Amino acid sequence: MVSSETIIERLREQGIRLTIQRQLVIEVLCQHNDHLLIQDVQQFLLQKGVDLNETTVYRILQWLKNLGIVSQTDLGQSGVAYQLMGEEPHHHLVCLSCGKIITVDNSLFLPLSNTLRTQFGFEPRIDHMAIFGLCSVCQQQDDSAPLSS
Ligand SMILES: [Zn+2]
Ligand SMILES: [Zn+2]
């Protein structure tokens, strides 16, 4: 696990300016290395005595996403999740009907990445993917109208 000190140090070496707010968001992400909604980040910041509005937190998270430090994933009903990029990415299958989230291994996406590289000369950044569909249980229950909720 990467510590917030390491991340902050690395950014400083790149000459990136770090406000206290940015440092605190990095700290929260390191302390709670899980799927976090913007509201979760706000909540954890409040516990540190810092009250930042949603727009500010959103902007900091976008900035971290562009730097490749944080992944952003739309998990459908569960909202948009932010998470520190780990050593090995993981991805999700999200059921549109019951909202179930299945975690899958990054190895599934390696053939796709290779195809994108060789056929399109495109270097994909597959950080944290969510693929929407219907889980096996919902397919059996809801044959007639597969994607209605
Ligand atoms: Zn995830
Ligand atoms: Zn389902």
Q: In 19-137, which ranges are E strands?
A: 70-74, 80-84, 90-95, 101-105, 130-133
The first and second tokens of residue 111, run together, are 């053939």
Ligand with the closest atom to the CA of 71: 1
Spacing, Cα 27 to ligand 2 middle (Å): 35
pLDDT for the residue 87: 79
Ligand with the closest atom to the CA of 127: 1
**Of the candidates 144, 130, 129, 134, the residue with the CA atom closest to the CA atom of residue 97:** 134
Whether the predicted model's global pTM rises above the 0.75 cut? yes
pLDDT for the residue 145: 57
Ligand with the closest atom to the CA of 130: 1
Spacing, Cα 144 to ligand 1 middle (Å): 30
Q: In the chain, which ranges are E strands?
A: 70-74, 80-84, 90-95, 101-105, 130-133
Query: Mind listing the pLDDT tens digit of every residue in the chain (149 residues)?
Result: 678 999 999 999 999 989 999 999 999 999 998 999 999 999 999 999 999 999 999 999 999 999 999 999 999 999 999 999 877 899 999 999 999 999 999 999 999 999 999 999 999 999 999 999 999 999 998 665 555 55
The first and second tokens of residue 29, run together, are 């992400």
Spacing, Cα 35 to ligand 1 middle (Å): 6
